Structures are given as structure tokens and as C-alpha cells.
Amino acid sequence: MLAGLLNANQGIISTIFGELSNSSNQSIAFSLMPIFWGLGGVLGPVIGGSLVFPTEKFSSLFGDNESLKRFPYVQLVPADLLLLL
């Protein structure tokens, strides 16, 4: 249900592709859209999963940080914000 509610992005992306392309490259632009959608569906969880539990995976970088041990998902919020910009 949540995916259906958040699927409004599809219409926005289609509109942007339509505005940015012309008749000579519109078919290429619209054929690339599902490829990027699929890549995001695969790479998003991989990137997110690699950032979880940083004190265990990257102990030399994060050391013995108690807040990251207590809240192992807190660093995903800034990482997501950087990707959105």
C-alpha cells in the first residue's frame, strides 16, 4: 500500500522526461526510465545495508561510538539527504 501511495513520482518523472526530450530522443529517454527505476530498487537496499552497524563494519573509522551502537540506522538519514541533492 505504501508503494502505491508513493508511486506519484512516476508521473512526475514521466513529465520531466517528456519536457526535457524532443521527438528525436524521446523513445530513448522513456526506455531508460525503467532501467534506472530497477537499478534504484536493487542498489538502494545494498547501499543502505552496507551503512548499517558502522561500529562493527568500520571500527577503525567510527571506533567505540556509543550513539552509533545504540542507534545503528541514524547515519542513513544524512546519507539519504545527500543522495537526494
CA-nearest of 57, 51, 55 to 77 is 51
Residue 79 C-alpha cell reads as 546519507
Which tens digits make up the pLDDT trace of 34-58?
A: 888 889 889 888 888 887 887 788 8
CA-nearest of 52, 42, 39, 41 to 79 is 52
Residues 20, 29: contact at Cβ < 8 Å? yes
Residues 18, 26: contact at Cβ < 8 Å? yes
pTM of the model: 0.56
Which tens digits make up the pLDDT trace of 1-17?
A: 566 666 677 788 888 88
Instruction: Collect all residues with Cβ–Cβ distance below 8 Å to 64 and sequence separation of at least 6.
Output: 55
